[in-house]
């Protein structure tokens, strides 16, 4: 099965190995392909697309990363890492992770939108953000854009998808959009898909670069360890959640055109 409706996507998230396994050359058959990975928060790009990034770079593709939010809500009460320091820490972790995946630091851009408040196109504060995204996209001119899955339970992820697809549409920029899930792997957060769409779902074989991806994920010490230990409300990825990103494949979804 490779084409499914939203009514059966919940089933596929529980039984992903039923999806076809593809190789990276089916994503980017040309080595000069320009790729953009958009992350709602620092770490989403590596968790969801780390294997794809490493494989695309090995092919010689240009890979750029756009990080939307500053990630400072992960530890809102930390005194050791107040917002400015936490933002700097998370950005340094992103650059370390992407360096592991062979992405040059100059190819990573941080929009530094407030964590938890990435606007949708209908938000009153969206216009200047859309303008920034438009200017960025016109500069990088990607052929392929990786976006968070449109129905991801996290509002920043959904807003990122809405914002970027609206920007691409306004620019009349025709690209291949590939969506990656993050929080749908958490069965307690996985939501209903209330909008009918035709979706193609598939897996990418990343076994050859899995060790590299795991090393990149480990760079996010603020999110995977007790590095920040002075915030009782601090966020940390659980071992169960991390297992979803340590598989020898990554799951992707595309709207059938």
- Predicted pLDDT of residue 191: 66
Count how many domains the chain has: 1
% the chain with pLDDT above 70:
93
Mean pLDDT of 19-46: 93
Tell me the longest C-alpha to C-alpha distance in the chain: 50
Classify residue 188: in a domain, yes or no.
yes
Instruction: Compute how many other C-beta atoms are within 10 angstroms of the C-beta atom of residue 100.
Output: 20
Could you tell me the CATH number of the domain that includes residue 13? Answer: 3.40.50.10320
Mean pLDDT lowest among 2-16, 75-89, 180-194, 231-245: 2-16
Band of the pLDDT at 210, cuts 50, 70, 90? very high
Q: Which of 149, 159, 182, 137 is nearest to 46 (CA)?
A: 182
List the end-to-end C-alpha distance of the chain, in Å, as a whole number. 17
Position 257 in a domain: no
Instruction: Tell me the per-residue pLDDT of 187-199, one tens digit each, with 9 for 90 and over.
Output: 777 766 555 567 8
**Residue 98 lies inside a defined structural domain of this protein:** yes
Q: Is residue 7 part of a domain?
A: yes
3-state SS class at 170: helix
Residue 106 lies in a domain: yes
Contact criterion met (CB below 8 Å) for 201 and 11:
no
C-alpha 38: how far from its chain's center? Answer: 6
Q: How far apart are CA 245 and CA 251, in angstroms?
A: 10
**Is residue 19 in a domain?**
yes
Q: Is the pLDDT of residue 2 over 60?
A: no
* Distance (Å, whole) CA 152 – CA 154: 6
In a domain, 228, yes or no: yes
User: pLDDT value at position 187?
Assistant: 79
Supply the range of the domain harboring residue 198.
Answer: 3-252
Which has the higher per-residue pLDDT, 104 or 197? 104
pTM of the prediction?
A: 0.94
pLDDT at 8 over 80: no
Dump strand ranges (E) for the chain: 3-5, 21-22, 34-39, 62-69, 108-113, 144-148, 176-180, 198-205, 249-255
**Is 101 a domain residue?**
yes
């Amino acid at each position: 099965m490779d084409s499914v409706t939203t009514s059966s996507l919940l089933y596929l998230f529980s039984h992903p190995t039923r999806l076809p396994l593809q190789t990276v050359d089916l994503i980017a058959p040309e080595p000069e392909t320009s790729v953009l990975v958009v992350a709602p928060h620092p770490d989403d790009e590596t968790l969801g697309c780390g294997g794809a990034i490493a494989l695309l770079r090995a092919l010689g593709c240009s890979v750029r990363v756009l990080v939307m939010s500053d990630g400072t809500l992960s530890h809102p009460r930390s005194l050791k890492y107040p917002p400015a320091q936490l933002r700097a820490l998370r950005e340094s972790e992103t650059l370390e992770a992407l360096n592991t995946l062979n992405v040059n630091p100059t190819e990573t851009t941080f929009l530094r939108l407030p964590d938890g408040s990435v606007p949708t196109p209908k938000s009153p504060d969206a216009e200047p953000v859309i303008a920034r995204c438009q200017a960025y996209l016109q500069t990088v001119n990607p052929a392929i854009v990786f976006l968070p899955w449109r129905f991801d339970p996290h509002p920043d992820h959904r807003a990122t998808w809405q914002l970027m697809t609206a920007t691409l549409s306004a620019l009349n920029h025709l690209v291949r959009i590939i969506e990656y899930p993050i929080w749908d792997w958490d069965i307690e957060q996985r939501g209903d898909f209330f909008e009918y769409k035709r979706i193609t779902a598939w897996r990418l074989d990343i076994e050859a670069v899995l060790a590299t991806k795991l090393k990149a994920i480990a760079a996010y010490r603020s999110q995977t360890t007790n590095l920040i230990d002075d915030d009782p409300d601090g966020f940390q990825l659980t071992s169960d959640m991390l297992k979803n990103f340590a598989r020898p494949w990554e799951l992707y979804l595309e709207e059938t055109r």
